[in-house]
Structure 1
Amino acid sequence: MTALPNQTAILTALQHLIEVVAKLRSPDGGCPWDLAQTRETLIPYVIEEAYEVVDAIRSGDHDAIAEELGDLLLQVVLQAQVASDQGQFDLSRVAEKITEKLIRRHPHVFTDLAVENIDEIHRNWEQIKAAEKGQDFSETQRLTYQLKRAARSLPPLMAALKISQKAAIAGFEWETIEDVWAKFEEELAEFQHALAHESKAAQQAELGDLFFTLINLARWHDLDPSVAVQGTNERFIQRLAQIEAVVDRPLSDYSLEELEAFWQQAKAKLAKERATNPEH
């Protein structure tokens, strides 16, 4: 395997990071916060940093991408250090296991196996993965297995969209978009009824059904619900920032009518800016 020109610098930088994290976790002069962390308490940071990497990639800012990848790498090193402190495994085992997995799952690269297309590569990958886990390949191809994997490994909105897509391919699909809208109206009515007459658990269940139907509507119109919600979040924050830039008192000091007027002004201003410069 050909070494990268700066491989030594990369390994040196990684070693320095490992040493810094080990020092932070050291009972002898380490950081109390780092020492108090467990694998479970670090979970929110793993998720947060992964999302920040995605946000940086979408921004196209190379410096931000490098910084956020570093934050995510820190979470990997921290998890490995916590495990090492407990005598379970260390970062070398983490690296070895993923390297072995990559080689094992790419026989068309690391052996003489010939493949004709990407579909064959994917099928080989799934067969090897099933064998690794001691599973029957035919079982892993069942719809329920694939849906459970999506629900377990993806954020809820992304999982719901993937579940909807796979179910539709398998035949669980409405005939027309009007049928989907009718289902949405049905679920909306059931949610409203639950809010008025049923338990909190029933309300949660009906809210979930309503969301899932809305995600199906998005799929029918080739829309990504995760991207849609992210855009709404960003627009809300942008409008709020416009309001905070012009008010001279805490927002809580204003009436709802005043806040609504500020909101509409901010909305109009941002819309005008986007029309003038659509790339931003």
Structure 2
Amino acid sequence: MTLSSSDAAPLQPTLTALQQLIEVVAQLRSPDGGCPWDLEQTPETLIPYVIEEAYEVVDAIRQGNQAAIADELGDLLLQVVLQAQIARESGQFDLANVAIGITEKLIRRHPHVFGEVNVDSVDQVKQNWEDIKAGEEKAKGEITSEQHLTPRLQRYARSLPPLSAAMKISRKAAAVGFEWENVDGVWEKFHEELGEFEQALQAETKAEQQAELGDLLFTIVNLARWYDLDPEAALHSTNQRFIQRFELVEGVADRSLADYSLEELEQLWQTAKAKLANQRSAD
């Protein structure tokens, strides 16, 4: 697929800006006058920055701050270009390979746009995507059999944040029939895991307590899936509400919170909770 001249013309400023970024990153990595910090970096040492910048993009999007979104996307793009530059220096791949790879993948996985396939719904688009993806993974040897889902689940566990991975794993397992008959079964599992966690806290080792906590959290994720809820978004909202309430508590405190009794702190907390609830009702 190629762009027509009319399509390509508006892209020139973008391509020029991207080329300038590539050249700046290359200079930062240059042994001749480059930056000592950048020269020390490896793909592995940059992992925390990739994760941090991705989360900062998400935060900016949630805030709805367009200037911040653009700024944070730039920081994330820097990580992509820097990883590609390091790989290019060792002859592995470069940014062109990255761009070509994702372009070909998008074309391949959208046969209803770039091919002759007809689709009637978004669900059909998603199913076609999954089928094509599974075929690609099998061709690369990442999946040894159409019956084997485990390699894909292992990849989710390795590459995604634990809460997101748990939801993805449970959805994929449910799609092949590894599922409760109804939500009552999930609730039974929740109470079972809660009891086992409480028992572990009383008599088991730290490792066993950790394992039981994980089982309980995984079951809660499955409950969220059954009720079509997003556990990651739910926890994010709870974190934000806690901070808002805590800020109000600190705002009215006339001394260190450590000097308040538990009863006094609870009263301040309930007052803050009610104030925020009233503000939301007024909005």
- Would the alpha carbon gap of residues 164 and 7 (structure 1) be closer, same or farther in structure 2, given more than 3 Å must change? same
Q: Is the 8 A contact 2:109 2:128 kept in 1?
A: no
Higher-RCO chain (CA-CA 8 Å, sequence separation at least 6) = 1
Alpha-carbon shift at residue 150 of structure 1 (Å): 3.3
Alpha-carbon shift at residue 134 of structure 1 (Å): 4.3
Root-mean-square deviation over aligned CA pairs: 2.8
* Runs of 5+ unmatched residues, structure 2: none
Is the aligned partner of 1:41 residue 2:48? no
Alpha-carbon shift at residue 61 of structure 1 (Å): 3.1
Match of 2:116 in 1: 114
| 1:76-102 C-alpha deviation (Å, 9 max, x unpaired) | 011112223444332222223323333
Q: Is the 8 A contact 1:139 1:145 kept in 2?
A: no
- Would the alpha carbon gap of residues 251 and 149 (structure 1) be closer, same or farther in structure 2, given more than 3 Å must change? same
- Would the alpha carbon gap of residues 271 and 29 (structure 1) be closer, same or farther in structure 2, given more than 3 Å must change? farther
Which 10-residue stretch deviates more, 3-12 or 229-238? 3-12
| 1:172-197 C-alpha deviation (Å, 9 max, x unpaired) | 33344333222212111211222222
Which 10-residue stretch deviates more, 215-224 or 165-174? 165-174
Identity of aligned residues (%): 64
- Would the alpha carbon gap of residues 106 and 170 (structure 1) be closer, same or farther in structure 2, given more than 3 Å must change? closer
Mapping of residues 1-280 of structure 1, within 5 Å:
1-2=3-4, 3-107=7-111, 109-110=113-114, 113-117=115-119, 118-119=124-125, 121-122=128-129, 125-126=132-133, 128-130=135-137, 132-134=139-141, 139-140=145-146, 142-247=148-253, 249-277=255-283
- Would the alpha carbon gap of residues 254 and 89 (structure 1) be closer, same or farther in structure 2, given more than 3 Å must change? farther
Alpha-carbon shift at residue 108 of structure 1 (Å): 5.1
Alpha-carbon distance in 1 for matches of 2:117, 2:176 = 27
Which 10-residue stretch deviates more, 142-151 or 45-54? 142-151
Report runs of 4+ in structure 1 exceeding 6 Å deviation.
Answer: none
| 1:29-64 C-alpha deviation (Å, 9 max, x unpaired) | 433333332211211221222222223333333322
Alpha-carbon shift at residue 208 of structure 1 (Å): 0.8
Alpha-carbon distance in 2 for matches of 1:245, 1:81 = 48
Q: Is the 8 A contact 1:21 1:81 kept in 2?
A: yes
Alpha-carbon distance in 2 for matches of 1:54, 1:96 = 26
Letter in 2 for 1:271: A
| 1:4-34 C-alpha deviation (Å, 9 max, x unpaired) | 4431210111122222222333344433333
Using the size of structure 1 for normalisation, the TM-score is 0.83
- Would the alpha carbon gap of residues 141 and 7 (structure 1) be closer, same or farther in structure 2, given more than 3 Å must change? farther
- Would the alpha carbon gap of residues 24 and 53 (structure 1) be closer, same or farther in structure 2, given more than 3 Å must change? same
* Alignment coverage as a number of residue pairs: 274
Letter in 1 for 2:40: A
Alpha-carbon shift at residue 231 of structure 1 (Å): 0.7
Letter in 1 for 2:199: H
Using the size of structure 2 for normalisation, the TM-score is 0.82
SS in 2 for 1:222: coil
